[in-house]
Structure 1
Amino acid sequence: MVDQHTPHSLLVTFYAAYGREGPSPLPVTRLLRLLAALQVDAPSVRSSLSRLQQRGLLLPERDAEGAEAHVLSAQALQLLDDSDSRIYDRHTPRLADGWVLAVFSAPEPERHHRHLLRSQLERLGFGSPASDVWIAPARLYEETRHTLRRRQLDPYVELFRGEHLGFAATAEAVANWWDLAAIAKQHQAFLDEQEPVLRKWSAERVATPQEAYRDYLLALDSWRRLPYVDPDLPIELLPVGWPGGRSVEVFAALHELLRDTGAFFVDA
């Protein structure tokens, strides 16, 4: 998984897990201590904070004592809220729920928007049955709408809801729209890394706050991209032995075991 456990990725993961809680604005000195527990040095944290600030996701402020701090922008909060529904609210998808279709077109002078749209829809988990036509489970509509508006790409796209009527069987068509083997490989990599962690905490004593914080953030950092790679297709459309269900179970169990205990370390 690209960019996994880098300083920048771990900072984003921290904000996803704990950054909307506690004091606001969040002092930089506190972030430095919290990321140091993950072996991220201060220059790397500051560089990553600068990148998030340049993207408009963090806004510089001062805390009550006048120290350097940041708050999440409205754009960042929307992004994190959308991510929450992907990361934590996995459910049993139904074929009857249907699909959302994105059809886009950009005039020749603005053809660069086509590349941006393809890249953004792919990041959202869309597959592509044809040029400039992208498809995903219908439950991704709201997040897709938010994302395209946030990226100012909505003037070039039309969104539709519908069902697949053929001519190929839907399971056969899905195997052409997404690279299921590559997605399964990423699920297996997550399981290889995190199943031993789950066994450790399931068999041992109650986690200490710092240990829980460290293991939870590393698990979340590994997991949070997978729900964007995997569009969470109905089980009847997936190959036999699909590992996605097990990786959902493993992450959910680690979240239950470690997240709240880790929050004590963040608050300390």
Structure 2
Amino acid sequence: MTPRTEQPSGGSENSTPRHHQLIISLFGLYARAHGGELQVSTIISLMNDLGVESAGVRSSISRLKKRGVIDSVKVNNRKGYALSPSALSAFAEGDERIFTPRRATADSRWLLATFTVPESQRSIRHKIRSTLVRMGFGAVAPGLWIAPEHLKDEALSYFDRHGMADYFEFFLAEHVGSHDLAKNMGIWWDLESLDSLYSEFLETNRPLLEKWTGIPTAQESEDLDAEAFADYLVLITQWRRLPYSDPGLPAELLPEGWNAIAASDLFQQLHEIIGFRASRHAERAISAQESDARI
């Protein structure tokens, strides 16, 4: 199997995910059914299916531990790692965005967010702004941010859970007046960059769809499952940031030929075709490690 090498700096993050990003996807997809925990040997074994050597895996694990994404634990009396409580919450919130993303319509209401942070707490101000961008909010004006209404519960829950709710005021609003809302989409969000990301996703993964649609669903083998796992883990890692960059903006207000719809359709097709094979392979590897621990 062709190794997925670590992406050089300046390369395309979307087409070639970094090792630590793949490990995050691995935990998000398969560890939660096992208490959020995986043995180190299981992580190494599954990442080896992507051509990643153990040294690279251990280095990436160390990086994720320092970032507070995972914690050291014992798994069946063997060395392992578990998702941190904050990471578990983030994955739970992300499931809907990744697998069933919502898209507003031109008649939908908008969520407006404004915040005030004392000058003495600049670091919190920066954290709030970066979080709003990560969630998919657009900047209307200094101190005023906008997103589709369906982000309301997620946004309020996040800022409350992280102790930042007191800095905010949120409003639900309808667009009125004669201003061209479609034109403003390109001012509040970087639509050109977003469309480029979707275009890249399509270009990268259309051949993958051709490959797997040529393999009968009923055809089973452990080798096929391992190959599906490698392809699927990369696919998920490429896809999972896109529903955050694009929070589900109304298609009617976006440029003609907007690639988000086609990209979402492609992802869903591949998810249905290879997702179950990938899961079967991952569960087989996890079960094998659990059986070894009981011997």
TM-score class, shorter-chain normalisation, is: over 0.9
**Which residue in 2 is equivalent to 1:192?**
203
Comparing 174-183 with 109-118, which one deviates more in the overlay?
109-118
Q: Compute the displacement of 1:50 (Å).
A: 2.7
What amino acid is the match of 2:58? R
**Which residue in 2 is equivalent to 1:134?**
145
1:17 maps to which of 29, 44, 50: 29
Partner of 2:145, secondary structure, is strand
TM-score under structure 2 normalisation? 0.84
Measured in 2, the distance between the counterparts of 1:89 and 1:11 equals 22
Measured in 2, the distance between the counterparts of 1:90 and 1:254 equals 15
**Which residue in 1 is equivalent to 2:235?**
219
Does residue 62 (structure 1) correspond to residue 74 (structure 2)? The answer is yes
1:52 maps to which of 58, 64, 81: 64
Kept after mapping to 2: 8 A contact 1:103/1:159: yes
2:274 maps to which of 254, 258, 261: 258
Count of matched residue pairs:
267
2:94 maps to which of 83, 89, 107: 83
**Which residue in 2 is equivalent to 1:121?**
132
TM-score under structure 1 normalisation? 0.92
1:5 maps to which of 4, 17, 23: 17
What amino acid is the match of 1:96? D
Q: How do 1:171-190 and structure 2 match up within 5 A? A: 171-190=182-201
Measured in 2, the distance between the counterparts of 1:177 and 1:142 equals 21
Measured in 2, the distance between the counterparts of 1:243 and 1:80 equals 25
Unaligned residue ranges in structure 1 (runs of 5+) = none
Unaligned residue ranges in structure 2 (runs of 5+) = 1-11, 285-295
Q: Compute the displacement of 1:220 (Å).
A: 0.8
Does residue 101 (structure 1) correspond to residue 144 (structure 2)? The answer is no
Q: Deviations over 1:70-100 (max 9, x none)?
A: 2223211110011111101124422333111
Q: Deviations over 1:20-44 (max 9, x none)?
A: 1247632111111011111222233
**Which residue in 1 is equivalent to 2:167?**
156
Kept after mapping to 2: 8 A contact 1:24/1:63: no
**Which residue in 1 is equivalent to 2:157?**
146
Q: Compute the displacement of 1:61 (Å).
A: 1.5
Partner of 1:233, secondary structure, is coil
Measured in 1, the distance between the counterparts of 2:153 and 2:242 equals 19
| CA distance 1:156–1:51, change in 2 (3 Å) | farther
Q: Compute the displacement of 1:263 (Å).
A: 1.3
Kept after mapping to 2: 8 A contact 1:59/1:70: yes
